[in-house]
Structure 1
Amino acid sequence: MRRVRYEHSGGPEVLFHEEVPVPEPGEGKLLVRAEAVGITLPVVRKVRESGRPVPLGGEVAGEVVRAGKGVHGYAPGDRVTGLCFGHGYAQYALLRAAMASRIPADATARDAVALVRSGVVALGALEAARPERGESVLVTAAASGVGHLALQLARLRGASRVVAAVGDPAKAGFVRSLGADAVVTYGQESWGEPVDIVLDAVGGALLTPAVKALAPGGRLVAYSSGGGTIEAYDLLVGGRSAIGFQVAMVARNRPRRYAAWIEDLWRLFGEGALRPAVHAEFALEDAARAHATIEDRANRGKVVLMVR
C-alpha cells in the first residue's frame, strides 16, 4: 500500500511516499480502507518541529476491512470514521474501535472527516465553558477546520453575539457567511466589546489578548497545541478563568458523552443546521501541498486528502 511519511523535521517538502505492507489490526483496532483523511494543525506542527519523526496521524474515514481481537459491533464493509494515532496518511489505516464511529448512509467520507473530529473538539470546548443562553462567544482561528464549526455551534447553543478572530482580514466574508456578527484580526489593539467566552485554538502570544477580551466572570477555553502562558493577574482582574480542554481525555474517560457529541453533530448535519466546509481536496500523493495550505493559514474550513 502507499503511505506518506518523513524522516526529519522541516516543511511540507520533507514528506515523501513509500510502498509498505498493509498492517494487521491488533487487539481493539479496526483496519480501514481509507477514503478521506483530514489534515490537522497539530500534525503539521509536528512535521515542522518534532526532533524525531512520528507517524502522520489524522482523521480517517473509510470502510472496515478487518476487525482485531476484542472488537465488537463492527464488521467488514461498515463505513466508519475515527482518529488514527499511527500512520493515517495511507491507503489503509488502523483505528481504535473505541474511538471510531459509524458514518450515516446519506453522508460521505469527505463529510465525516470535515465534521466529526473537528466538530467534537468544537462542541467539547464550547461545553467546557458551560455556556448560558444569551452569552457572547469569541472564536480564534475562526476559519479553521475546528473554528468554523465552533462559530456555528455557538449560535446553535444560544449565543447572543458571535465574534470571529482571524489572522487574515480576507477571511472575513467566509466567517460572516457562517453567522459571525463581528470579525476581528489578531493585530488589532482591541477586540471590541468584551465577551463571556473565548474559545482559543491558537495559543502562544495570542493568549494575552484572548484573556483581555473577556468580560468580568468570563471563561477562556484553551484547546491549542501551540503552548503559551497566562498571567495570573490577568485572570484575577474581573474574576476571569481559564480552562484546558482535550478531547482524547473525554473519549477515554467519558465514552458515553463522546458518543453523544458525535450523535448530536450528525443530527445537526442531517437537519442542515451545521455546515462543515472543505477548503480543498488533495490526492494522497499531494500531501505536501495540503500541509503547505495549512502552514500558509490559507484554508477556510477543512483540508482533506482523498485516497483513491
Structure 2
Amino acid sequence: MSTDTMRAVRLHEHGGPEVLRYDEVPMPEPGPGEVLVRVSAVGVNPPDWYVRGGLTSMPGTESTLSLPAILGTDVSGVVEAVAEDVDAFAVGDEVFGLLRFPSFNGSAYAEYVAARASDLALKPAGIDHVHAAGAPMAGLTAWQYLIELGHDHPSPFQEARHRPAPLDAGTTVLVNGAAGGVGHFALQLAKWKGAQVIAVASGAHESFLRELGADRFIDYTTSRPEELVHDIDVVLDTVGGPHSRRFLHTLKRGGSQFPVFPGDFDEEETAKLGVTVSITQVRSNGAQLAELGRLLDAGTVRVAIDSTFPLADARAAHERAARGHIQGKIVLTVA
C-alpha cells in the first residue's frame, strides 16, 4: 500500500452492517485550523448506524453526506502533523475528540483523520486510547445536558435554549438507560455534582451501575419506575420514544425531563404538571472535553467498554450494537 493512502471503513450504499467496506483511500491533509491525527481507536455511536441506515443529515443542519463516505466522529490518537495556524497542539501529542459533529464529516473510521484543532483535547494520561475514544460523544452529550451547554446555537428541537438544571446534594436525578454510553456518563457526572441518582436499566446491569455510584437501581423489566419514584428533580432519558412521557409523573413541580432522543410529549400535560421538557443536540467542543478529561484522569469519571473490534471488523461492531443491551461503549481499534 502506498504511503499516500490509508485504510478506512466506508459506506458506498445505505443498508445493514454488511454494507461497510474496508477500503484503501487517499490520506487526508490538514487544512487551516486542523491537525492530522494518526488514529489509535474510534468510538462507535448511534449516528454511525443511523447514517449507515439512510440518515443523511442531523436536524437543523444541511445535508453533508455524499457517498462513498467514511463514518465516525470519536477518535483518540497521536498528532502527526499540524497546520501553520495551529499552536494548541504539536506533533506527538496524544489527543481525543468528537469531530465536526453535528455534521457527518467526522471521517473517524480510518487510520488517519484531519481534525479541527478546536474539536480536540489532550488525551488524559491516565487512560488508554480505547477508553479515551469511548468518551467524546457520549461524555459531551451528558455534559451538555447536565453540566453546561457551552454554545449559543439554536436548538433544532425547540425554540428555547436548553439550560441544564443545577445539581447538588439536594437534587435527585433519574437516569433511564443508565448502563449505555450517555447514561453511564450522566450517572457519574450527577454524582460528581453531589446529586442522588436513581439508575433505570435491565437487571443484568445492576452491579455495574451500583459500582458507578447509583444510590438506587430500578430494573425496568420487572418494575415500572413511574409507579415507584416521585418528587424527582431531573430525569435524563437516554432511551426516548413514545413511552418517554411516563417519566413526567416522577417529577416534582418545577422539575425537568431531558430526553436525549425526541419523545412524544403534550404541552398541556407538562403545563398541568408544572414541569419542563428540554432537548438539545450535542456539539463538538474541545474545551469541554478537556474538562471531562481532567475528571477521567483523576478517576472521578470512568469509561466502561462493552467490547472492542479491529477497524477492519466494523461490521461486527455494528452487529453488536444492533443486539442492544450495551454496557458502556463499543470501540474500534486501529493497528
Which TM-score tier does this pair reach, normalised by the shorter chain? 0.7 to 0.9
1:228-243 matched pairs, under 5 angstroms: 228-243=263-278
Gaps of 5+ in 1: 252-257
> Residues 98 and 137 of structure 2 are in contact (CA less than 8 Å); yes or no, is this contact kept in structure 1?
yes
Secondary structure of the residue that 1:199 maps to in structure 2? strand
Find the counterpart in structure 1 of residue 95 from structure 2. 80
Q: Does residue 212 in structure 1 map to residue 246 in structure 2? A: no
Q: Give the counterpart of 1:200 among 231, 234, 237.
A: 237
Q: Give the counterpart of 1:35 among 35, 40, 59.
A: 40
How far does residue 101 in structure 1 lie from its aligned partner after superposition? 0.7
> Residues 129 and 220 of structure 1 are in contact (CA less than 8 Å); yes or no, is this contact kept in structure 2?
no
Distance in 1 between residues matched to 2:217 and 2:195, nearest whole Å = 13
Find the counterpart in structure 2 of residue 265 from structure 1. 292
Find the counterpart in structure 1 of residue 123 from structure 2. 103
1:108-127 matched pairs, under 5 angstroms: 108-127=128-147
> Residues 30 and 82 of structure 2 are in contact (CA less than 8 Å); yes or no, is this contact kept in structure 1?
yes
Distance in 2 between residues matched to 1:55 and 1:214, nearest whole Å = 42
Q: Give the counterpart of 2:171 among 123, 135, 144.
A: 135
When structure 1 is superposed on structure 2, of 183-192 and 15-24 the one drifting more is 183-192
Find the counterpart in structure 2 of residue 288 from structure 1. 315
Find the counterpart in structure 2 of residue 254 from structure 1. none
> Residues 42 and 333 of structure 2 are in contact (CA less than 8 Å); yes or no, is this contact kept in structure 1?
yes
Gaps of 5+ in 2: 1-5, 57-65, 100-104, 148-163
Q: Does residue 173 in structure 1 map to residue 178 in structure 2? A: no
Counterpart amino acid of residue 85 in structure 2: G
Distance in 1 between residues matched to 2:320 and 2:136, nearest whole Å = 21
Q: Does residue 59 in structure 1 map to residue 94 in structure 2? A: no
Q: Does residue 91 in structure 1 map to residue 111 in structure 2? A: yes
Deviation string 1:61-83 (CA, Å, 9 cap, x unpaired) is: 10111123532222211111112
Find the counterpart in structure 2 of residue 182 from structure 1. 217
1:156-167 matched pairs, under 5 angstroms: 156-160=192-196, 162-166=197-201
Deviation string 1:166-208 (CA, Å, 9 cap, x unpaired) is: 2x43223322222221224278544321221011222221321
Deviation string 1:37-95 (CA, Å, 9 cap, x unpaired) is: 00111222221242675541221110111123532222211111112333110101121
Deviation string 1:146-171 (CA, Å, 9 cap, x unpaired) is: 211111111121112x12222x4322
Counterpart amino acid of residue 264 in structure 1: E
Distance in 1 between residues matched to 2:84 and 2:264, nearest whole Å = 43
How far does residue 270 in structure 1 lie from its aligned partner after superposition? 2.9
Question: Using a 3 Å threshold, how does the CA distance of structure 1 residues 187 and 220 change in structure 2: closer, same or farther?
Answer: farther
Q: Give the counterpart of 2:329 among 287, 302, 306.
A: 302
Distance in 2 between residues matched to 1:289 and 1:175, nearest whole Å = 26
Counterpart amino acid of residue 118 in structure 2: A
> Residues 83 and 95 of structure 1 are in contact (CA less than 8 Å); yes or no, is this contact kept in structure 2?
no
Distance in 2 between residues matched to 1:214 and 1:49, nearest whole Å = 36
TM-score by length of 1: 0.88
Deviation string 1:193-225 (CA, Å, 9 cap, x unpaired) is: 12210112222213212323322211012333x
Q: Give the counterpart of 2:281 among 218, 233, 246.
A: 246
Question: Comparing both structures, which one devotes a greater share of its residues to helix?
Answer: 1
Distance in 1 between residues matched to 2:169 and 2:240, nearest whole Å = 26
How far does residue 229 in structure 1 lie from its aligned partner after superposition? 3.0
Secondary structure of the residue that 2:146 maps to in structure 1? helix
TM-score by length of 2: 0.81
Secondary structure of the residue that 1:269 maps to in structure 2? helix
